[in-house]
């Protein structure tokens, strides 16, 4: 069994902050849960990693399907690349689940850190555009978001394909 409890992983666990707020209540609440699950996976003990990953996969699957439906139902113009990124993330999560099942804890720990770096960027670059679109459709204007302060963001280079964007 491959085991490396916290070895060479020093990215701080992701903590929700209002810098991630978009102004869409449903999406913001789901993001808050997802950020918490990513942070928990980053700090999970080896023996708890499978449960942490399972919970993350379940929530991410549900959340992505909600966003995908919102994009399709409202004919969001930039939906294709956004939906493809969701699919790539789920594919990676499922692949790591299979690796973890045969003892590769290190890859799961690595994935957790990569997700912590990817998630705030995904919110900022893709989900924010969707939130603006939905708000404009409903209210005719961009959402107004009041942020009280920032507590956590993470930016690192990525090794998983879902984080690579065409330039
Ligand atoms: Fe999202
Ligand atoms: Fe998204």
pTM for the full predicted model: 0.84
* Secondary structure of residue 2 in the 3-state scheme: strand
- Residues 16-52: tens digit of each pLDDT: 999 999 999 999 999 999 999 999 999 999 999 999 9
The pLDDT assigned to 141 comes to: 73
The pLDDT assigned to 2 comes to: 37
Which pair of tokens denotes residue 72? 């399709």
Return the sign of the alpha-carbon dihedral for residues 120, 146, 24, 16. Answer: positive
**What is the distance in A from the centroid of ligand 1 to the CA of 2?**
32
**What is the distance in A from the centroid of ligand 2 to the CA of 86?**
6
| Nearest ligand (C-alpha, residue 22) | 1
| Nearest ligand (C-alpha, residue 28) | 1
Q: Are 155 and 77 in contact (CB under 8 A)?
A: no
Q: What are the extents of the domains in the chain?
A: 18-157
Neighbours of 161 (CB within 10 A): 10
> Any long-range contacts for 55-60 (C-beta under 8 Å, 24+ apart)?
56/93, 56/115, 57/90, 57/93, 57/94, 57/97, 59/30, 59/33, 59/34, 60/34, 60/89, 60/90, 60/93
**What is the distance in A from the centroid of ligand 1 to the CA of 52?**
19
| Nearest ligand (C-alpha, residue 59) | 1
Element (H, E) at 86: helix 79-101
CATH assignment, 18-157: 1.20.120.50
Q: Which residues surround ligand 1, an ion (CB under 5 A)?
A: 127
């Amino acid at each position: 069994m491959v085991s490396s409890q916290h070895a060479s992983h020093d990215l701080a666990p992701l903590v929700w902050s209002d810098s991630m707020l978009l102004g869409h209540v449903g999406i913001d609440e789901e993001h808050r849960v997802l950020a918490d699950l990513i942070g928990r996976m980053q700090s999970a003990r080896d023996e708890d990693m499978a449960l942490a990953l399972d919970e993350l996969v379940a929530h991410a699957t549900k959340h992505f399907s909600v966003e995908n439906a919102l994009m399709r139902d409202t004919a969001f113009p930039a939906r294709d690349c956004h939906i493809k990124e969701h699919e790539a993330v789920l594919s990676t999560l499922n692949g790591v689940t299979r690796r973890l099942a045969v003892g590769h804890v290190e890859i799961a720990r690595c994935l957790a850190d990569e997700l912590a770096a990817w998630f705030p960027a995904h919110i900022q670059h893709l989900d924010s555009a969707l939130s603006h679109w939905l708000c404009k459709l409903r209210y005719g204007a961009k959402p107004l978001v009041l942020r009280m302060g920032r507590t956590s963001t993470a930016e690192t280079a990525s090794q998983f394909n879902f984080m690579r964007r065409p330039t």
